[in-house]
């Protein structure tokens, strides 16, 4: 039996959620934008009416207002959007027991064994799901359908979003006709740098990559070259499960600072705070990691200064102090002293923390008991309840971050 997977995407999610909560905005061009003083008013979401004026996400607020003088600007409310996303996932669980959130506004649904009420017709199921979400939550969905997650994703991104019906199917029967003629940058997993490399090899369309010999791609890029080649054919065996996204990704935090940080004395304060946040998230997800990466960059667009490096540890960890010590070593080796405007820390190679490698020289019991106590207190009283003394200095961002989710106010 061929698999049937849906990728359900919420149209202009943040902006449309605001319209649901504020019905008077229904027929107005609405955008959701960050704080202009701190984030330069970047557009996070634009409703269809705003897009008709040419407003685009990621552009600055002043650019959008120049295009649309009647623009209504709403500040982001991340907790509201997260709650709405959870409700949408609950609606989808009425149709299938295999539901995987991919992002706050995208959810995979395994429909292979859930099509009987729809006489085996995925299109009918998609239309019913769209109608159900609209009726219950007031937001519009687009649905990509495919036999694999990667085809469902590309069906949604490149076809369903442009379709008046909001539903499109990509399969092995139509992939050569529909997907292969598209530009290579439309292939899932191809970023700007990889696009440049592929174009230099004469590969300009997805079809050209699909027909390219596999061995040269593997020789040049290893497993990533083979993965892209397989993606161009729509091959993807990954299951739809609730924790797939968590398992295959690292856990990290990245932030743009409100001003340039010039000294290590200031940088280390934020680096420690980010490391503790990463550690707490890892513990909350029941996992540890063995690779730590750190990154930093300046805001100089003309001559960008940045680094992104990683280091492997001897043992898996979810201890904020261990993560911070590793990230600090990376900074000492790779930061050249330029003003830092953005900074990040990530824990990679995640594994389940049920089993741990014990050490005679570094006992874990006392540290784990301390972490459990701190986590319990923060679960009860909120993030940022317990901080290092350094977080009382002017360089700290902990109190501000405690008021935010995903870099935006709750």
Give the pLDDT confidence score for residue 390 in this predicted structure.
84
Give the pLDDT confidence score for residue 6 in this predicted structure.
98
From the candidates 106, 273, 277, 295, give the one annotated as an active-site residue.
Answer: 106
HSE-CB of 327 using CA atoms within 13 angstroms: 33
Distance CA 265, CA 299 (A): 19
Give the pLDDT confidence score for residue 155 in this predicted structure.
97
Q: pLDDT tens track of the chain, all 410 residues?
A: 789 999 999 999 999 999 999 999 999 999 998 765 554 578 889 999 999 999 998 888 888 889 998 899 998 888 899 999 999 999 999 999 999 999 999 999 999 999 999 999 999 999 999 999 999 999 999 999 999 999 999 999 999 999 989 999 999 999 999 999 999 999 999 988 899 999 999 999 999 999 999 999 999 999 999 999 999 999 999 999 876 554 556 888 888 888 899 999 999 999 999 999 999 989 988 889 999 999 999 887 566 688 999 999 988 899 999 999 999 999 999 999 999 999 999 999 888 877 666 555 555 666 777 888 888 888 787 777 788 888 788 888 876 666 666 656 56
Give the pLDDT confidence score for residue 39 in this predicted structure.
45
Is residue 9 marked as binding? yes
Kind of pairing between the strands at 404-405 and 141-146: unpaired
392-403 residue pLDDT tens: 888 888 766 666
pTM of the model: 0.74
Is residue 105 marked as binding? yes
**Quick check: is 378 catalytic?**
no
Give the pLDDT confidence score for residue 285 in this predicted structure.
85
Specify whether the CB–CB gap between 383 and 403 falls below 8 A.
Answer: no
List, in sequence order, the alpha helices (H) in 285-355. 320-334
**DSSP bridge partners of 342:** 256, 297
Distance CA 220, CA 214 (A): 10
Structural domains of the chain, with CATH = 8-147 (3.40.1170.60), 177-232 (1.10.150.20), 249-409 (3.30.1490.100)
Give the pLDDT confidence score for residue 192 in this predicted structure.
86
List, in sequence order, the alpha helices (H) in 159-308. 175-178, 192-200, 206-210, 214-221, 223-232, 244-248, 264-284
């Amino acid at each position: 039996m061929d698999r049937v997977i849906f990728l359900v995407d919420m149209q202009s999610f943040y902006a449309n959620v605001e319209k649901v909560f504020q019905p008077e905005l229904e027929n107005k061009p609405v955008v959701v934008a960050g704080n202009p003083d701190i984030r330069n008013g970047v557009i996070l979401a634009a409703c269809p009416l705003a897009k008709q004026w040419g407003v685009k996400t990621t552009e600055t607020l002043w650019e959008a207002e120049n295009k649309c003088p009647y623009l209504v600007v709403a500040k982001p409310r991340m907790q509201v959007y997260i709650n709405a996303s959870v409700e949408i996932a609950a609606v989808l669980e009425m149709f299938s027991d295999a539901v995987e959130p991919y992002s706050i506004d995208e959810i995979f649904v395994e429909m292979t064994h859930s099509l009987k009420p729809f006489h085996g017709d995925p299109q009918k199921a998609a239309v019913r799901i769209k109608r159900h979400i609209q009726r219950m939550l007031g937001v519009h969905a687009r649905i990509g359908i495919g036999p694999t997650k990667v085809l469902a994703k590309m069906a949604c991104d490149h076809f369903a979003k442009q379709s008046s019906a909001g539903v499109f199917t990509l399969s092995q029967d139509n992939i050569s006709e529909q997907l292969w003629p598209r530009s290579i940058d439309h292939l899932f997993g191809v970023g700007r740098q990889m696009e440049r490399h592929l174009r230099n090899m004469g590969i300009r369309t997805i079809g050209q990559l699909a027909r390219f010999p596999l061995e040269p791609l593997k020789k040049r890029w290893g497993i990533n070259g083979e993965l892209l080649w397989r993606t161009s054919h729509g091959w993807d065996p990954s299951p739809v499960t609730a924790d797939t996204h968590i398992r295959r990704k690292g856990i990290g935090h990245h932030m743009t600072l409100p001003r340039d940080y010039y000294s290590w004395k200031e940088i280390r304060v934020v680096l420690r705070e980010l490391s503790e946040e990463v550690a707490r998230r890892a513990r909350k997800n029941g996992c540890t990691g063995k690779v730590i990466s750190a990154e930093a960059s300046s805001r100089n667009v003309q001559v960008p200064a940045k680094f992104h490096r990683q280091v492997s540890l001897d043992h898996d960890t979810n201890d904020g102090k261990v993560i911070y010590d590793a990230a600090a070593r990376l900074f000492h080796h790779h930061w050249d002293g330029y003003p830092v405007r953005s900074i990040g820390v990530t824990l990679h190679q995640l594994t389940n923390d049920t089993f741990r490698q014990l050490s005679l020289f570094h006992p874990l019991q006392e540290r784990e008991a301390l972490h459990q106590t701190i986590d319990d207190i923060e679960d009860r009283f909120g993030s940022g309840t317990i901080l290092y003394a350094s977080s009382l200095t002017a360089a700290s961002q902990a109190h501000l971050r405690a008021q935010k989710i995903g870099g935006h106010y709750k």
